[in-house]
């Protein structure tokens, strides 16, 4: 397994734990990979009491990129408490772009990562 595949797995793991922390009962994940990039699609329900936490995903996942930090710290993804802002910021450093659709009790994510 390459580092790029391991990074993708860490991203999915971290976001899965985040969804569990907002009481998701159904999480769908799809990964599409080519030689040059990977697209991660996730869709989950959540308890509406956590809408505020979901509304901050845009900030965390589309924040300023730092390839050097992402390359150094990617192995730490998933090591903190589920849904910690630092863990989500790390995921944001590891991806190139995120699209987020937030509904009353459902969220859809499209994450794009170039190799």
Task: List the domain range (segments joined by +) for residue 101.
Answer: 3-114
pLDDT single digits (tens) 60-75: 999 876 666 555 555 5
Contacts of 90 (CB under 8 A, 6+ apart): 14, 69, 70, 73, 74, 76, 77
pTM of the model: 0.83
Q: Is the pLDDT of residue 103 over 80?
A: yes
CATH at 90: 3.30.565
pLDDT at residue 110 in the model: 98
Count other Cβ atoms within 10 Å, centred on residue 54: 21
pLDDT at residue 84 in the model: 55
Quote the number of domains for the chain. 1
Q: Is the pLDDT of residue 30 over 60?
A: yes
Q: Is the Cα dihedral 49, 55, 56, 62 positive or negative?
A: positive
């Amino acid at each position: 397994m390459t580092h790029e595949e391991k990074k993708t797995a860490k991203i999915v793991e971290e976001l899965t734990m985040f969804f569990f922390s907002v009481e998701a009962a159904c999480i769908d994940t799809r990964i599409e990979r080519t030689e040059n990039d990977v697209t991660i699609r996730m869709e989950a329900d959540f308890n509406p009491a956590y809408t505020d936490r979901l509304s901050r995903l845009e900030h965390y996942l589309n924040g300023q990129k730092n390839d050097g930090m992402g390359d150094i710290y990617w192995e730490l993804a998933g090591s903190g408490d589920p849904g910690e802002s630092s863990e989500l910021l790390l995921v944001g450093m590891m991806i190139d772009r995120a699209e987020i659709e937030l509904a009353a009790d459902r969220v859809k994510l499209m994450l794009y990562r170039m190799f």
